[in-house]
Amino acid sequence: MTDEALTPRQVADELGVTVRTVQRWVADGRLPATRVGGRVRVSRSSLGTVAAGPDVPEPRQIRSLLIANRGEIAARIARTAARLGMRTVGIHTSDDHAPDGFDLALQVSSYLDAGAVLDAARRAGADAIHPGYGFLSENPAFAEAVGRAGFAWAGPPPGAIAAMGDKSAARRIAAAHGVPIVPGYDGEAQDDTTLAAEAWRIGFPLLVKPSAGGGGKGMRVVRSAGEMPGALAAARREASRAFGDDRLILERLLGRARHVEIQVLFDGYGHGVHLGERDCSAQRRNQKVLEESPAPSVTPDLRARMGEAALRVAAAVGYVSAGTVEFLLTDAGEFFFLEMNTRLQVEHPVTEAVTGRDLVADQLRIAAGEPLGFDQAAVHWSGHAIEARLYAEDPDAGFLPAAGRIAALHWPEGVRVETGLRPGDTVTDRYDPLLAKLIAHGSTRAEALARLRRALDETVVLGVRTNLRFLRWLLDVPATRAGDLRIDTLAGLELPPPAVPDHAAWQAAAATLLAGRPHAPWGGAWRGAAPAAVWVRRGEEVRRVELAGIPGPAPPVAADGAVVHVAVEGQSLEFSLAAPPDVEEAVRHAAHAGDRALLHAPMPGRVIAVRAREGDPVEAHAPLVVIEAMKMEHAVVTPLTGSVSGLFVSVGDQVQRGDLLAEVSA
């Protein structure tokens, strides 16, 4: 989506209205236009000043709601819809389980197949569609199609989505309405020479990021001119795959800035309010980890100024529904527009906790044509709320995405838990790794932190690696406790060492393994009057574990086939029965005979590149296979110099963690 000049016909097609309607908007000044060679042209960034459909919303009753999403957000929307007396309709794909708690669930080919989603809504007799976030939520063509099909749309107008979905155009809209933007480059020229020259003008370090999309995908920090060519190529590649648009923008990297966003809410009559701010500075690789409201660094005066700026940006594109305007905030109190998310945010529960509002209920009322019914003076904030995101990822392996089957779950009491997860579910790399959100509210920030810390201590997820242990550690970091997190804080912290199972964990694993296979000949588990013992493996480590005298309380444990998962400091670690050491040593010796290296997949994903062929010479640390998971790339490198003696994957293959990719011999 570029800021090109559109004809009235193109505008009409994009917004789902007639050409005559577009001409009327131009004539009465509602839609800014220029004349090019005697013909009327409309800038794409101006489309948000009008909304498809009539000038005044037509009230309608929503009796049945289709939720075009999955996981925790689908469950969260369904809960509010059911409370409002609506019939709830869910969707799922063939490789995903049908959602719980819905009145009806229909299978679709893909969560991204707009036609299939609309067909499901027709078959279900739905009145409205709520997109949640991700998937089709910020697709203007889908929003337009929903309206054309006669459904109420629980989201903003297509023109507003289009205007804000292009980060380059969004920057220009914000600047045109007096809202400061981060110094940078958002022009149409996209060749390397131009971008390199602009980078020198902006100054290093800087940020390269896609003009389309969001979620931190494709973003690269560039600290010197020498890094520019590689960063541009990688950012374009990821942006093209993730968003179908490889255009880039450059922005100055503001050191020690905070990421603060403003929640806005607009009805279809032009009335809008802001619901305060959220601090989302706790980020790792541009992905949010913790969010809180109110922001520790924001004063009432600053909140009012940022809120007013957010309302200006949203009003400029004719916004309707819930949305979020994101800013960078410096210690000097300067704030700069980043982007606008034209959807419900993942972190919306912290705003709900401190304002007492239900944002999904607000969205549905607005979609039904109702006015807001309150003004800015009626918005009040109470206490403090903090949210932690629980991801399926392995912090001990560089936070690579994790996969597996959920063997056991335990959620804490006393906090809000948003999840669609249940025991037996399979977590794959096909979808976002977010498993759950835990939200704690307290009268003070310290109280909210303490409640969240207790909740994380009580949480158990077995069967897949998660960032639960990392979250516990993060809440104890001094910068977190002091409310002094910045967007670059996590990148500069030394992470704790991996969890190490103690004797109790080994014994719990051994007892569970032996209970599942009591007659297995695992190295003489029974020796006369001696204590029962069994050989147990975890990774490369094998131990003979005696089962007598297990001290103290046993850690949470769950069996899943031949594997036992044990909770160790919050992390799910895998154990299995092992052969006696003499057999183990023989197998290990045979597998590592000679100087060779076996390259295994560090995460589940899709092979997008193979850099060599069998027989090719390779240098140590050269990348051989590149795997993509969650639109991010990971190169698997050879640890030694030699030749490729085996290649076991091809481009396009799906691999699981631990799968053999290649072999290199010295």
Encode pLDDT of 169-215 as tens digits.
Answer: 999 999 999 999 999 998 889 999 999 999 999 999 999 999 887 76
- Say if residue 553's pLDDT is above 80: yes
3-state secondary structure of 637: strand
Same domain, 373 and 474: yes
Per the prediction, the chain carries an average pLDDT of 89
Percent of the chain scored above 70 by pLDDT? 91
Lowest-pLDDT range of 54-58, 115-119, 222-226, 381-385: 54-58
Average pLDDT over residues 613-628: 87
Please check the confidence at residue 518 and state whether its pLDDT lies above 70.
no
Q: Which of 201, 218, 252 is the last residue of a domain?
A: 252
Q: Where are the alpha helices (DSSP H) in 203-247?
A: 228-243
pLDDT grade, residue 53 (50/70/90)? very low
375/486 same-domain check: yes
Q: How confident is the model at residue 28 (pLDDT cuts 50, 70, 90)?
A: low
Domain boundary among 203, 229, 252: 252
Lowest-confidence region among 25-39, 426-440, 504-518: 25-39
Q: Which of 17-21, 42-46, 267-271, 508-512 shows the lowest per-residue confidence on average (mean pLDDT)?
A: 17-21
State residue 1's pLDDT score.
Answer: 44
pLDDT recorded at residue 584: 47
Model confidence at 631, pLDDT cuts 50, 70, 90, reads low
At 522 the pLDDT is 47
* Residue 411 in domain: yes
CA distance 315 to 309: 10
Quote the Cα angle for 292-295-298, to 5°: 175
Per-residue pLDDT band at 141 (split at 50, 70, 90):
very high
For residues 71 and 209, membership in a common domain is answered with no
Domain boundary, last residue among 196, 217, 252: 252
Identify the burial level of 568 via C-beta atoms within 10 angstroms of its C-beta, where 0-12 means exposed, 13-18 middle and 19 or more buried.
buried
Average pLDDT over residues 384-402: 95
Q: Of 21-30, 499-508, 549-558, 572-581, which range is least confident?
A: 21-30
Residue-level pLDDT at 505: 95
Number of domains in the chain: 6
The whole-number pLDDT of residue 55 equals 53
Q: What is the pLDDT of residue 450?
A: 98
pLDDT value at 144 more than 50 = yes
Q: Where are the strands (E) in 134-243, listed by range?
A: 152-153, 184-185, 206-210, 220-222
Q: What average pLDDT does range 2-23 have in this prediction?
A: 74
* pLDDT surpassing 70 at residue 529: no
Residues 474 and 517 in one domain: no
CA distance 630 to 604: 10
Nearest to 449 by CA among 469, 487, 479: 479
Same-domain check for residues 438 and 292: yes
Residue 623, pLDDT > 70, answer yes
Is 119 domain-assigned?
A: yes
Residues contacting 499, CB < 8 A, separation 6+:
396, 469, 568, 569, 570, 571, 573
Q: What is the pLDDT, as a whole number, of residue 364? A: 98
Average the pLDDT over each of 1-5, 201-205, 509-513, 582-586 and give the range with the smallest value. 582-586
Instruction: Single out the residue of 283, 285, 259, 269 nearest to residue 341, CA to CA.
Output: 259
Q: Looking at residue 539, what is its pLDDT?
A: 87
* 248 and 265 housed in the same domain: no
Residue 254 in this model has a pLDDT that exceeds 60: yes
Non-local (6+) Cβ contacts of 340 within 8 A are 164, 170, 313, 314, 317, 323, 324, 325, 326
Q: Which of 76-90, 434-448, 572-586 has the lowest mean pLDDT?
A: 572-586
DSSP letter string, 108-121: -S-TT-HHHHHHHH
Confidence of residue 589 (pLDDT cuts 50, 70, 90): very low
Per the domain annotation, does 166 fall within a domain? no
**CATH number of 628's domain:** 2.40.50.100
Say yes or no: 331 and 386 in one domain: yes
**CATH number of the domain where residue 138 is located:** 3.40.50.20
User: CATH number for the domain including 35?
Assistant: 1.10.1660.10
Ranking 131-135, 580-584, 589-593 by mean pLDDT, the lowest is 589-593
Please list the alpha-helical segments (H only) found in 257-374.
Answer: 300-316, 348-355, 359-367
State how far the alpha carbon of 659 is from the alpha carbons of 387, 523, 635, 649, 663, in Å.
35, 28, 15, 9, 12
* CA dist., res. 630 & res. 240, Å (int): 14
pLDDT in tens, 323-352: 999 999 999 999 999 999 999 999 999 999
Query: What is the residue range of 17's domain?
Result: 5-49
**Residue 53 burial by Cβ neighbours in a 10 Å radius (0-12, 13-18, 19+):** middle
What is the pLDDT confidence band of residue 17, given thresholds at 50, 70 and 90?
A: low
Quick check: is 176 in a domain?
no
CATH number at residue 541: 3.30.700.40
pLDDT at 588 over 50: no
Residue 264 and residue 241 share a domain:
no
161 domain residue, yes or no: no
**Which distant-in-sequence residues (6+ apart) come within 8 Å of 169 by Cβ?**
1, 2, 3, 44, 45, 163
Residue 476 lies in a domain: yes
pLDDT band (50, 70, 90) for residue 532? confident
Q: Binning pLDDT at 50, 70 and 90, where does residue 16 land? A: low
Query: Same domain for 322 and 349?
Result: yes
Mean pLDDT, residues 508-512: 93
Q: Is residue 531 pLDDT above 70, yes or no? A: no
**Sign of the Cα pseudo-torsion (558, 426, 88, 419, in order):** positive
In a domain, 169, yes or no: no
Shared domain for 391 and 479, answered yes or no, is yes
Check which CATH number belongs to the domain holding 192 and give it.
Answer: 3.30.1490.20
Helix (H/G/I), strand (E/B), else coil: 607: strand
pLDDT for position 29: 67
User: What is the model's pLDDT at position 595?
Assistant: 79
- Which two tokens mark 541? 């480590």
Q: How does strand 104-107 pair with strand 571-577?
A: unpaired
Please name which of 94, 34, 45 lies closest in space to residue 70, comparing C-alpha atoms.
94
User: Do both 482 and 519 map to the same domain?
Assistant: no
Query: CA torsion sign, 246 to 252 to 258 to 260?
Result: negative
Indicate whether 15 pLDDT > 80.
Answer: no
Q: What is the mean pLDDT of residues 138-144?
A: 96
Residues above pLDDT 90, as percent of the chain: 67
Q: Give per-residue pLDDT as tens, 590-599.
A: 444 457 888 8
Q: Based on the fold, state whether residues 329 and 463 are members of the same structural domain.
A: yes
What beta strand segments (E) does 492-579 contain?
Answer: 533-538, 541-546, 557-560, 563-568, 571-577
| CB-CB contact of 526 with 514 (8 Å) | no
Cβ contacts of 101-110, under 8 Å, gap ≥ 24: 101/75, 102/67, 102/78
pLDDT value of position 655: 84
In a domain, 18, yes or no: yes
